[in-house]
Structure 1
Amino acid sequence: MNDDSGFQPIYPAQPPKPERPARPQIWKYVLTVLISVLITFTLTAGAGVLLFLGYSASQETGSDLGLPLDDDPETLAALAKLRAIYDQVDLNYFEDLTDAQMLEAMARGLVDELGNRYTMYLTAEENQQIAESMSGNYSGIGAIVAMNQDSFVEITEVIADSPAEEAGLQVGDLFTKVDGEDVTGFKDVSSVAALVRGEEGTPVGLVIYRPSTAKYVEFTVTRRKITNVSIAYRMLEDGLGYIMIRDFSSGVAANFIAAVQDLEAQGAKHLVFDVRNNTGGYADEVISMLDFLLPSATIATIKGRSDGKAYEKSWTSGASMGVSADMRYAILINGMSASASELFSGCLRDNGKAWLIGEQSFGKGSGTITIELSDGSAINLTNFLYYLPGGDCIEEIGLTPHEEVTLPEDAAGISISRLTLKQDTQLKAAIDYLKTID
């Protein structure tokens, strides 16, 4: 590790918030979405290209293009404008682009400019990275990151015994360069992930900005196979158990249920669930976990749109519970607890089972579907809002903890899993709360 004092910081210790963040996200490196439903969708790309290139504003309509467009004057004017832009780029852009490249740019623009931060176009490479990450196995450095509120890629957790931890990377570090390429202007986490990932055993050069010291630091980290353990648990004291849920990736529900059962066998009467820095995962995993913890109850009400029609439905748990009806929970949340974490925490809160401790959560109360296209690329579309059992929609609001507790300054830069009980004032508050329950 070398101090890179030759760089002049492009932002101070507290990076300025861009006036208009481009595709702001809080997705962690695994790019989890609250609800990620994979749909196979085949496009007849050849026919689409031919129809578009044959467009003439004065002769053809939306129907002639093979698109379900109205033939009103406003729509025809917009089509004519699009054709004019296409022609100007084709004739005057400094690079000679193929038609396929231009249509790819149009596809990305159509989705990315809808004005919703979670709706976006994914290349085939980005889509594949999501699938690999959600499986919990990949070759990389073992740093969990998110696009923070200021649109910088920030490390939120360093996996224990990973190359990242061994190299000295810390929670709160911000990526600025990867193998010499400036990534401060990148619009999404997946683009940075594509550079950091690579073949096992190969080195990756990083330049990070460390706000705690207001300095840039260079690292060379050797990639390894990473198995991201989504669940970590242990007994605490006085009949209390602790479960850290790092994400809601594939298979986490089964591991969670096994952890709860093991802690119960060891004498746990009440549990602490830690979803700090957990930015989401698969809905079916969350539902399975809540079904295990709850009697017959409402998990959430969904209001959205599908196949051109509005719909509303409820997610519910079954009558049988996997735990004692007397078991209660303290849930630790912070500003990077989002989407699936908020559904999990809010549902248990509203069903009278959990006490929330920590800081205001992020506020993602919407769901997306991931629609895979024939070439491996995909689009993430926000298609519903969810409402907690108490009726709240937390989109852009988040969950307010029952008990607000912040971590001390000496905990900055330390992974949650490495905090001592003295440093982890939020966990200490959870233990104190659960001790008051008979």
Structure 2
Amino acid sequence: MMFKNGRGKKIALLVASLMTLMMLGGVVVQKQCAAEGSNDYDSIELFTDVLAIVKKSYVEEVDTKKLIYGAINGMLASLDPHSSFMPPDMYKEMRIDTKGSFGGLGIEITIKDGLLTVISPIEDTPAFRAGIKAGDQILKIEDKFTKDLTIMDAVKRMRGPKGTKVTLTIMREGFDKPKEFTLVRDIIQVKSVRYKTLDDGYGYVRIAQFQEKTDEDLSKALASLKQENGGSLKGLILDLRNDPGGLLDQAVKVADHFISDGLIVYTEGREKDSRMQFSARASGTEPNYPLVVLINSGSASASEIVAGALQDHKRAVIMGTQSFGKGSVQTIIPLSDESGLRLTTALYYTPSGRSIQAKGITPDIVVERAEIQATDRKEGHIREKDLENHFENEGKDKPENQAGKDKTPVHKIDEQLKGDYQVQRALDLLKGWEILKNINKD
């Protein structure tokens, strides 16, 4: 296309320069263009031609920056579900997210098979309390269909002031038709690590999300659990269910707590900087007590790194259901106008060389989610005490046995965990482990 005046040429040069600066700081793009010849220059010229036509002939006057942002959004959306452009306001919120406090509904989302899909709801958030589940497909946000929305557009629509409402139209396996869920926005305060003693010597640690202080919080949790249990643990449950991931370095540090040496995770990408290896250090490693890691379809990214590393090193039994399968690494690149680029730069691999991209981590023991309900109903079995003229127990137990019977448990498991079938199965496995160990000693 030929420009009719000098002003058109200046616009073209300005836009070309802007695009070069915004793509990874310019240096990489310039190298790429030089290496690949004139094709990239032709494409950029095509882009500037279209931009000039729109600026000149579109029915209404348009903002150049809005057009540029739209073009970058479209470019990144054509790559993969996790690469995206963040305007300044979204980039600022993303940085706040990793610190564990942000406004919205508490849903981690992705695009799967072309549909906006829930990776997992975050604990104790409006989404979690409303019953949103991993795997739910979000068809509409208010009256806007999500099919043509980017992830960032969807996030922007779901966020808003505390106390305001937003309606999501959800399709779920088992639903006859989509259902509407009306949620009230709140300030989301994500507590990364929670912990509890389940029984004497048996600890439980829940990691909800990998944030800046997850490693520090885990260290404190493990120290407290050991202090509560006489200085040591007989076993630990590490709960990574519905953990959507987060910071890679925090995943490495969490795995390092339980692995004394060897590879934790490595990444492979095109650029030298994206090819990295992370290994365990001997210092600060936890004692080799039995460990069960719980995962499910909402366990993604960083939580899969931890589960995969512990599984490959045979340090833990992985229990639950197949994880999400997000095996890609996103690099956050700040841009000159305070916007940001989230770009998939590598795939990560477990120590044995497994890529979990679109596959996930397969549990060693598959345990589906189920609810445990207490019942007072008699099962109909006859016991010795039901027989007429049975002998009464006159309290002739040996003193040590009697002392054991009269002992009151120090720790009482809370109702939520008591009804959690997967946690109870994990606890049974740890106790069985201890029993077998003692049998082998005898």
Q: TM-score range by the shorter chain?
A: 0.7 to 0.9
Cα distance in 1, alignment partners of residues 140 and 372 from structure 2:
27
1:336 aligned counterpart, secondary structure: coil
Deviations 1:159-208 (A, max 9, x none): 43x55677x45446665555x442533634443333333334x4224244
Matched, 1:118 2:79: no
C-alpha spacing 1:407/1:120, structure 2 compared with 1 (3 Å)? same
Cα distance in 2, alignment partners of residues 155 and 359 from structure 1:
14
Cα distance in 2, alignment partners of residues 382 and 291 from structure 1:
25
C-alpha spacing 1:127/1:410, structure 2 compared with 1 (3 Å)? farther
- Please list, as runs of the form range in 1=range in 2, the aligned pairs for 1:37-186 lying within 5 A after superposition: 51-52=13-14, 67-68=30-31, 69-70=33-34, 72=37, 74-75=39-40, 77-113=42-78, 115-141=79-105, 143-147=106-110, 149=112, 151-154=115-118, 156-157=120-121, 159-160=123-124, 168-171=130-133, 175=138, 180-185=142-147
Letter in 1 for 2:203: G
Cα distance in 2, alignment partners of residues 53 and 356 from structure 1:
52
- Number of equivalent positions: 367
TM-score for the superposition, normalised by structure 1 = 0.73
- Percent identity, please: 25
Letter in 1 for 2:91: N
Cα distance in 1, alignment partners of residues 191 and 359 from structure 2:
29
TM-score for the superposition, normalised by structure 2 = 0.72
Q: Which runs of 5+ in 1 are unaligned?
A: 1-46, 56-62, 412-416
Letter in 2 for 1:428: Q
C-alpha spacing 1:106/1:247, structure 2 compared with 1 (3 Å)? same
Cα distance in 2, alignment partners of residues 75 and 54 from structure 1:
11
- Please list, as runs of the form range in 1=range in 2, the aligned pairs for 1:316-331 lying within 5 A after superposition: 316-324=279-287, 326-331=288-293
C-alpha spacing 1:233/1:317, structure 2 compared with 1 (3 Å)? same
Match of 1:203 among 138, 153, 164: 164
Match of 2:326 among 330, 340, 364: 364
Letter in 2 for 1:231: V
Q: CA deviation at 1:240?
A: 1.8
Cα distance in 2, alignment partners of residues 271 and 345 from structure 1:
14
Matched, 1:304 2:287: no
Letter in 2 for 1:393: S
CA contact (8 A) 1:335 1:362 kept: yes
Structure 1 runs (4+) greater than 6 angstroms displaced: none
Matched, 1:346 2:308: yes
1:331 aligned counterpart, secondary structure: strand
Structure-2 residue corresponding to 1:374: 336
CA contact (8 A) 1:144 1:159 kept: no
2:222 aligned counterpart, secondary structure: helix
C-alpha spacing 1:72/1:371, structure 2 compared with 1 (3 Å)? closer
Structure-2 residue corresponding to 1:232: 194
Q: CA deviation at 1:230?
A: 1.4
Matched, 1:333 2:295: yes
Q: CA deviation at 1:231?
A: 1.3
Q: CA deviation at 1:148?
A: 6.1
- Please list, as runs of the form range in 1=range in 2, the aligned pairs for 1:381-420 lying within 5 A after superposition: 381-408=343-370, 419=416
Cα distance in 2, alignment partners of residues 301 and 232 from structure 1:
28
Q: More helix per residue: 1 or 2?
A: 2
CA RMSD of aligned residues (A): 3.4
CA contact (8 A) 1:111 1:379 kept: no
Q: Which of structures 1 and 2 has the bigger CA Rg?
A: 2
C-alpha spacing 1:186/1:330, structure 2 compared with 1 (3 Å)? farther
Q: CA deviation at 1:210?
A: 6.5
Q: CA deviation at 1:255?
A: 0.9
Q: Which runs of 5+ in 2 are unaligned?
A: 1-8, 18-25, 374-413, 438-442
Letter in 1 for 2:223: Q
Q: CA deviation at 1:278?
A: 0.9
CA contact (8 A) 2:122 2:208 kept: no
2:103 aligned counterpart, secondary structure: strand
Letter in 2 for 1:204: K
Q: CA deviation at 1:134?
A: 1.6
